Every structure is written in structure tokens, then in C-alpha cells.
Amino acid sequence: MNFDEAQVIAAVAAIFKTTNKAVLVGIGDDGAVVETSKKSVVTTDMAIEGTHFNTEWSGAFEIGRKITAANCADIFAMGGTPQYLVVALALTGDESMEWIEELAGGIAHEAKSVGAVAVGGDLARGQTKVISMSAFGSVKEPILRSGAKPGDRIYCSSLPGWSAAGYLLLNSASTLESDASQYARDEFCAPTLDYGVAQDWIHAKANSMCDVSDALIIQAQQMSNDSSVKFTFDKDKFASHPEFNQMAELADALDGDPWQWIFSGGEDHVFLATGKDLDGFVVGRVEAGSGVEGLEMKKAPDTWRHFN
């Protein structure tokens, strides 16, 4: 170990330093003091080395971005705006100060992109790296999974599946090099979130919204169940997306199935919404009834699971 707790806290505090006037007391005391709205939305997410990230594939900056994006996506999916982050970090003691500073830099970078700031956290030693983050946001009227109505259109903020493709590439011996393969790897290591699309849907009053962090087929079923409606997807709509041909070509090169990536892949954090007049990528419609149709694949979906 080439650092102590005080050094880590000092380095992280410098990276997270903010001039945001709503942060009355930041890092350095027993707790942060912040101004909040009358309605707040709160979420938390945990990333464990070997389960959610691999330091052989991802740099510390990318890891910091990814965990932050996961939390911010949940706030947006509830119709909120991210404001504050609290980060708890377990380190093995084998990390360098440079690695820790890059991790904090990735968190700060992604937080800044949505106007949020890290205001505190905790530090401990453990047998493996663990990053636990809680995000706090303001919300006027929450957008729930249970708000979908018959007659709504179903929207995706972008084409899902790139992260699943990236995971396959990183977890295999493939040496394939192309623009599509590099994009897939990048999207797994640090996904590019459609924050602007989510904000537009919030302002346009989407009836329901969800962050697709597990799999489209899983989260569509959740929204269908919670709303007591039927979700009918149109496969041709997905195939019409400008990125689909690139994904299909990548799947051919890897002897994979693009529909498996799109329908049952996870970790993209693509936003899924329903509404009447939203801008974006229409992929289906909401009808009276129950269940999900149109997401059929050649084989049973191999979706993300924490416990097998």
C-alpha cells in the first residue's frame, strides 16, 4: 500500500470540489449538507470487481463513469434530475493513487455531464474492489413503470445491444478490429447514455419510463405487468435503426445473434418509455391486455442474472 486514508480523501475531495451553491457543506465533515427540493428521488447501485467490472478490460476512469451513469440513469428514468452523489469505496490496498484519482475523475466527469456533484462517501479496505453509489435527485412528478396506457407508443432512446456485444468481445479470444467492434467494447466499459432524450421525454410528459439495465425483454415485462397492459413490439422498427446493419454485420463476424443482444442484452442503460407524442425511436405500441409480444428470439434469452 503506497497511500493512507487521509491521502485518498484529500485527493478525492480535490477532484470532487464544487462551487455549486446548493452544496452548503461538502466533503470533509461527518456528513454533507445540501439543499433539496420538496420531492426527491433516491437510488443506489453497487459495482463489484469481477461481477460488474474487470480492470483488465476497463480503466479506472471508465469504471467511474459506468457506475455513475447507472445511478444517473435511474434518476432520469423516474422523471427526475440528478443532483448529488454519495460514494462508498472498498479498496484492496494494492491500487495506486493514480488509479484512485482516475476513478474519481470518471465519477466527476459523468456527474458533471448531468449537473450533479459528489458530496461525500466512505472508504474501507476489502478483499476486492467494491464501489457503492447513492444518487439523489429532484423530481416534480415521478414517472413510473405503471403509467403505460393503451394507445401509447413504445419508444427506445437508442438501439440496445451494443453493451452485450462488447461483453462478448471482451470475454472471448476474438481479435476482431473494426469501428463496430471498438464501439461495442467502449459501450460495455462506459456506456453512452441518452440523457438529453430522457429529459425531452420528461418535459413531454411520458406516461411511463424505465432504464433498461437488465434486458429489454425483462424490463418491458415489468412495465407491462405494473401497468396491466400489453406491450407489442415491431421487430422491423429495430431493424430500421441506422446502427442495426453495423450490429448485424458484427454479429455475423462473431457467429452471434443481434436479436439476442438487442432483446436480452443488458448494461446499455437505454431508456424505454411510452407516451403519445414523444420524439425518438418508436419500437411498438401499448394495447389492452397483458404480456409482451414481438421480442421472440431463436433461442431462450440469456439475460443478466446476479445469482445463477
- The residues of the chain that CATH labels 3.90.650.10 are 145-293
**What class does CATH assign to 145-293?**
alpha beta
- The residues of the chain that CATH labels 3.30.1330.10 are 5-138
pTM over 0.85: yes
Give the three cell numbers for residue 227. 401497468
Query: Could you read off the pLDDT tens digit of each residue along the chain, which spans 308 residues?
Result: 566 767 777 777 777 787 777 777 777 766 768 788 789 999 999 999 998 899 999 999 999 999 999 999 999 999 999 999 999 999 999 999 999 999 999 999 999 999 999 998 899 999 999 999 999 999 999 999 999 999 999 999 999 999 999 999 998 878 899 999 999 999 999 999 999 999 999 999 999 999 999 999 999 999 999 999 999 999 999 999 999 999 999 999 999 999 999 999 988 999 999 999 998 899 999 999 999 999 987 765 555 454 34
Phi then psi for 154, rounded to 5 degrees? -105, 130
Question: Does residue 161 contact residue 269 with C-beta atoms inside 8 Å?
Answer: no
For the domain bounded by 5-138, which CATH number is listed?
Answer: 3.30.1330.10
